[in-house]
Amino acid sequence: MAYLVLARKWRPQNFDDLIGQEHVSQTLTNAIRSGRIHHAFLFTGARGVGKTSAARILAKALNCEEGLSESPCNHCPSCKEITSGQGLDVVEIDGASNTGVDDVRELRENIRYLPSRSRFKIFIIDEVHMLSTSAFNALLKTLEEPPQHAKFIFATTEPHKIPLTILSRCQRFDFRKIPSNKVSERLRFIANEEQLQISQESLALVSRQSEGSMRDALSTLDQVIAFCGDQVDDNAVQSLLGMVDRRLLLDTLEAILQRDSRRVLELIRRVDQLGLSLRRYAQDIIELFRALVVCKVVSDPSDLLDVVGDELNELKALAGAVNLDDLQRSVTLLLKAQSDLAASPHPQLTLEMILVRLTTLAPTLELGKLISRLESLEKRIANETGRGTLNKARVQQGLDQQSSAALSGGDPPAKKPEAPVATFDKKGWQGLVEQVKEKRPMLGSVLEHGRPIKLEPPHIEIGYPEGSFMIGQIQEVETLEVLEGLASVYFDHPITLRIVTVDTEQSNSTPLSLAETRQAQETDRARRLKEDATNHPALKAVQEVFGGEIKQIIPIDKGFV
């Protein structure tokens, strides 16, 4: 007896066998149970996901001799004929081979006759998108007014090529790619039935190779059995499929994240020595980086990834030690490298350079942490600048006194008496700030944010919050010299400035800066304006009539004080 390949031997025979297409099975089952059966169906989806199998199951359900049922018996002559593809009243047509208008005309002639012994005459057209425009036009009239005994089931992988006039007359079902875990479960069932000794890891490799196609998975499993026999070795499966060992891939991922360039190069050399595909190796690394991103952003990634058990736990651990922005940058570079790898005359060198680059990428910093570091650096520089200026002045004063004493042969000269304060009473802090703003606007803006701690010319003491931007600006040596010069001109006497730090939250004894005073006045003005507006009789009357609340108060009298 001729060998029957697994894809045909284990072809779905009822709706429950349609793995991964539960939405299609449920809809068709309900339609059959309720008797609301459309005259034309369109099954779309990738190859090997069950479109033609679903069409045969539907045909058996409609023509089963035991009665119209969502669960065909698969034992009556009608079911057996449809299963073998020899049904008298179920016509299967290959759209790729019968593309002309004459083929459709023949179909239209055939459809006029009643079924020989079944309820319906069913026409299954596979790859229907291959029909010519003339053939579609010839089919359109039949779909518009089909006979009661006829049903059409179209299958295609490219529904966009079907005219809209045909699509609008069909009930469409989109078949999805089958998840790898469901493919693995089905393969495990079939392997047990076939008494095949194969590990779950090898079945996972086969399902991953199929890319969501059950037919491709069964064909690959057939190939594995032909190569290995009933005792399947994991290494043999990897060698047969040209796939990279998962341990090798995880080691590469770990080496990249640990920034171990030497280890990465050794792993690439090993892949090359084993004769494995470098492009497949790069593609698998991209999939692992995607898995890391999923583990990073999803609390339970098991439903989104084709990995289980220890491998999933290892990926979670690796994802926890890396930044999400770094992962996204790595994926972007790997995707570009994959296209470069296809066109490169030196694929190994290309792959080595991109993976080494990944190991040497500088890690990204979160914006909040970066700002915090900049603020800390600003405070430290400001403090160091202030202390340096003060120490420099003290050292210079000491050197001057020592030089004077050495030249005179005696003690340092006595300190000259300060000028009386009374001579400066007519000139105050606000006038000084206005004078400086007139001469140096930027410096004046800095000065109006300072608190006049001590205003006793020739000594003036100005306070700023510790670590603020303003204190860093005014403590620069050149800025102090310019400001002392302007103050000396204003007071008509040499002035010495001293910059100190103040605690604006705890200290209420120091006078406010001009900027703080202006802000306080604006706040008080806004408060009084709000009180006047909310207490106005006209506004209260409006609220009583219409209800509502006050959202915003806009002053129209700029002279209000």
**Whole-angstrom Cα distance, residue 258 to residue 362?**
12
| Domain match, 435 and 485 both | yes
Quick check: 468 pLDDT over 90? no
CATH of the domain at 329: 1.20.272.10
pLDDT score for 539? 67
| Domain match, 492 and 541 both | no
Task: List Cβ neighbours of 274 (8 Å cut-off, separation of 6 or more).
Answer: none
pLDDT score for 535? 77
First to last CA, the chain: 107
Quick check: 395 pLDDT over 70? no
Question: With bands split at pLDDT 50, 70 and 90, how would you rate the model's confidence at 560?
Answer: very low
- pLDDT, mean of residues 447-458: 85
- pLDDT, mean of residues 256-269: 91
Question: Which of 158, 176, 194 is the last residue before a domain boundary?
Answer: 176
Quick check: 416 pLDDT over 80? no
Q: What angle, 0 to 180 degrees and rounded to 10, lies between the N-to-C axes of helices 180-193 and 214-228?
A: 40
| Domain match, 107 and 54 both | yes
Asked if residue 59 is part of any domain, the answer here is yes
Asked if residue 329 is part of any domain, the answer here is yes
pLDDT score for 211? 83
| Domain match, 447 and 489 both | yes
Question: Which of 176, 200, 221 is the last residue before a domain boundary?
Answer: 176
The pair of three-digit structure tokens given for residue 475, joined into one six-digit string:
């403590």
Asked if residue 221 is part of any domain, the answer here is no
- pLDDT, mean of residues 66-80: 88
Asked if residue 213 is part of any domain, the answer here is no
Question: With bands split at pLDDT 50, 70 and 90, how would you rate the model's confidence at 492?
Answer: confident
| Domain match, 353 and 439 both | no
Q: 501, 377, 515, 512: which is closest to 446 by C-alpha?
A: 515
Q: 300, 204, 213, 217: which is closest to 245 by C-alpha?
A: 204
pLDDT score for 418? 42
Of 429 and 417, the structure prediction assigns the larger pLDDT to: 429
Q: 72, 188, 65: which is closest to 115 by C-alpha?
A: 65
What residue type is 231 in one-letter code? Q
Q: 289, 279, 204: which is closest to 242 by C-alpha?
A: 279
pLDDT score for 388? 52
pLDDT score for 192? 92
pLDDT score for 557? 57
pLDDT score for 540? 67
Q: What pLDDT, in 10s, does the model give residues 102-156?
A: 778 888 888 888 888 889 999 999 889 988 888 888 888 888 888 889 999 999 9
19 lies in which domain range? 6-176
Q: What pLDDT, in 10s, does the model give residues 36-58?
A: 899 999 999 999 999 999 999 99
**Whole-angstrom Cα distance, residue 169 to residue 140?**
9
Asked if residue 198 is part of any domain, the answer here is no
CB 444 within 8 A of CB 433: yes
| Domain match, 21 and 146 both | yes
Q: What pLDDT, in 10s, does the model give residues 340-386?
A: 888 888 888 989 998 999 988 877 655 566 566 666 766 766 665 55
- pLDDT, mean of residues 267-291: 88
The pair of three-digit structure tokens given for residue 544, joined into one six-digit string:
């009583």
**Whole-angstrom Cα distance, residue 443 to residue 483?**
8
**Whole-angstrom Cα distance, residue 230 to residue 479?**
88
| Domain match, 253 and 347 both | yes
Number of domain units in the chain: 4
**Whole-angstrom Cα distance, residue 16 to residue 72?**
11
Q: 195, 138, 155: which is closest to 44 by C-alpha?
A: 155
| Domain match, 473 and 552 both | no
Question: With bands split at pLDDT 50, 70 and 90, how would you rate the model's confidence at 538?
Answer: low
pLDDT score for 309? 66
Asked if residue 412 is part of any domain, the answer here is no
pLDDT score for 424? 41
Give the SS3 label for residue 68. Answer: coil
CB 315 within 8 A of CB 323: no
| Domain match, 497 and 548 both | no
Question: With bands split at pLDDT 50, 70 and 90, how would you rate the model's confidence at 175?
Answer: very high
- pLDDT mean across residues, the chain: 81
Q: Looking up tokens 């007014």, which residue turns up?
A: 145
Quick check: 475 pLDDT over 60? yes
Of 272 and 415, the structure prediction assigns the larger pLDDT to: 272
- Reported as type and span, the H/E element at residue 501 is strand 496-502
- pLDDT, mean of residues 437-444: 83
CB 428 within 8 A of CB 455: yes
Asked if residue 138 is part of any domain, the answer here is yes
By mean pLDDT, which of 12-16, 283-287, 403-407 is the weakest?
A: 403-407
Question: Which of 121, 146, 176 is the last residue before a domain boundary?
Answer: 176
Give the SS3 label for residue 136. Answer: helix
Determine what percent of the chain is predicted with pLDDT higher than 70.
84
Q: 501, 417, 391, 511: which is closest to 455 by C-alpha?
A: 511
pTM of this structure? 0.58
| Domain match, 524 and 493 both | no
pLDDT score for 402? 46
| Domain match, 545 and 466 both | no
Tell me phi and psi for residue 174, to 5 degrees.
Answer: -95, 115
Question: With bands split at pLDDT 50, 70 and 90, how would you rate the model's confidence at 400?
Answer: low
Instruction: List strands edge to edge, sheet with 121-126.
Output: 90-94, 121-126, 150-156, 40-44, 171-174
Q: What angle, 0 to 180 degrees and rounded to 10, lies between the N-to-C axes of helices 278-297 and 309-320?
A: 70
pLDDT score for 343? 83
| Domain match, 380 and 302 both | no
Asked if residue 286 is part of any domain, the answer here is yes
